[in-house]
Amino acid sequence: MNDDERAMMMLEKSIYEAKEMLEEKHIFRPFAMILDQNGSIRRMDNDIEDMQVSYMQLHDEITAHVQMRQTADIIVLLTNASMPEQLVEDGIESSIRIHLEERSQLHKAIPSRYIYVPYQLQRLSGEEKIEAKLFHPQAVSFPAEFFRKEG
């Protein structure tokens, strides 16, 4: 599996988990997944009530993890977020925001991305079940926060 395929696998896996949480609880708590060079995936979350504090705690834990272990290849950090105003389409403001960093992309000028996946919670007709309908993702690039360029 090449680097792009590994990143897509991590994105798909994390989005699927967030979608499941949205359908079950109608919101999801911030969580992260780290793919190591050996192919193992570590999931990180916490029970902090305040979503922003929870997100920042995960951010700090990932930073410490990457500094202590140089084996992390891909990081995804997800949170429930409002779409940036300039990206809102069709009035859909809720999104799953994925902070994606890949060690293999560090050579690029702006190697990290926020990927916003807009969603709407919809009740299926005649059922109690809520479906999280996902829309076309949009990406915004920014400098790396977890991985540091060598040299």
Instruction: Say yes or no to pLDDT of 126 above 80.
Output: no
pLDDT tens sequence across 40-60: 999 999 999 999 999 999 999
> How far is the C-alpha of 7 from the C-alpha of 113, rounded, in Å?
12
Instruction: Say yes or no to pLDDT of 149 above 70.
Output: no
Q: Which of 81, 31, 20 is nearest to 54 (CA)?
A: 31
pLDDT tens sequence across 26-43: 988 999 999 999 999 999
pLDDT tens sequence across 62-79: 999 998 888 999 999 999
| Cα-based angle 71, 74, 77 (whole degrees, multiple of 5) | 120
Are the CB atoms for 98 and 114 separated by under 8 Å?
A: yes
Give the helix/strand (H/E) hosting 10.
helix 3-25
Q: Which of 101, 119, 104 is nearest to 21 (CA)?
A: 119
